């Protein structure tokens, strides 16, 4: 299934969860604070801007933000919250689409680089970020650490979240570094009159060391890596990371 088919009108309609999940203030505020600081007073470009979860509050902090987004329904949902003059968006693939101007910061949040399903596309994403950045500019990526250690021998799937009315399962293919996230909602109150719903997204997972090599191929060096947006130490037990890659320059 193509990404345009996955992120359709229904996905855009149900994507926002105001005040909870990834929209919870304790999740969103540290990301916006860190990105505002890393922008250094310059312009920011968000790859896969989605419905503007991060871009709109970041623009509200005085950082000029432009976005690139493949899904037109997601752009339409963003437009219900912010106009083109507030957050301009280019419709296109984040590995190839160009936005006008130069930026001090390009960023990708919430594992979105893994939506590119080949290593070549992921490397192209780094190169596209570099094309947009001024000397000394930063490319920031938030990404989960592959949890292959949680797979019992001989099994290819693991439940990563369970709560009343919801089950999240990841199925892995270690040969291709592909996984599919399966989201199951069930019960009386899932929001659209039905009793069950499933949503699946394919990904190509990336080890931190591989991510750094992709950066080197595009001219970046790793400036920092933390376990979260608050700057916690990244360790062998960390389940995700925020990595800052920087071009040579000022």
Identify the pLDDT of residue 248. Answer: 96
pLDDT tens by residue, 213-231? 999 999 999 999 999 999 9
- What value, to the nearest 5°, has the Cα angle with vertex 176 and ends 175 and 178? 115
pLDDT tens by residue, 3-40? 666 667 877 787 767 787 788 889 899 999 999 999 99
Q: Is 205 helix (H, G, I), strand (E, B) or coil?
A: coil
Identify the pLDDT of residue 121. Answer: 96
Cβ(108)–Cβ(140) below 8 Å: yes
The β-bridge partners of 226 are: 233, 242
Give the CA dihedral 28, 34, 35, 41, nearest 10 degrees: 130
pTM for the structure as a whole: 0.89
Mean pLDDT score, 168-175: 86
- Poorest-confidence range of 55-69, 93-107, 190-204? 190-204
pLDDT band, very low/low/confident/very high, at 163 (cuts 50, 70, 90): confident
């Amino acid at each position: 299934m193509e990404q345009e088919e996955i992120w359709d009108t229904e996905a855009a309609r149900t994507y926002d969860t105001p005040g909870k999940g990834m929209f919870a203030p304790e999740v969103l505020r540290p990301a916006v604070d860190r990105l505002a600081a890393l922008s250094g007073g310059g312009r920011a470009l968000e790859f896969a801007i989605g419905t503007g979860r991060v871009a709109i509050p970041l623009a509200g902090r005085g950082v000029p933000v432009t976005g690139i987004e493949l899904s037109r329904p997601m752009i339409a949902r963003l437009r219900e919250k912010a106009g083109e003059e507030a957050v301009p968006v280019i419709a296109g693939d984040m590995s190839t689409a160009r936005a006008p101007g130069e930026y001090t910061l390009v960023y990708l949040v919430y594992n979105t680089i893994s939506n590119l399903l080949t290593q070549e596309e992921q490397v192209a994403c780094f190169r596209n970020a570099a094309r947009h950045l001024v000397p000394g500019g930063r490319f920031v990526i938030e990404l989960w650490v592959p949890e292959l250690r949680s797979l019992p021998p001989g099994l290819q799937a693991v439940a990563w979240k369970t709560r009343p009315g919801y089950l999240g399962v990841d199925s892995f293919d270690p040969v291709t570094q592909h996984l599919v996230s399966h989201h199951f909602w069930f019960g009386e109150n899932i929001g659209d009159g039905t009793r069950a719903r499933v949503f699946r997204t394919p990904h190509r997972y990336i080890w931190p060391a591989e991510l750094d090599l992709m950066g080197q191929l595009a001219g970046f060096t790793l400036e920092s890596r933390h376990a979260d947006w608050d700057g916690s130490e990244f360790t062998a037990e960390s389940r995700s990371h925020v990595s800052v890659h920087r071009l040579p320059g000022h």
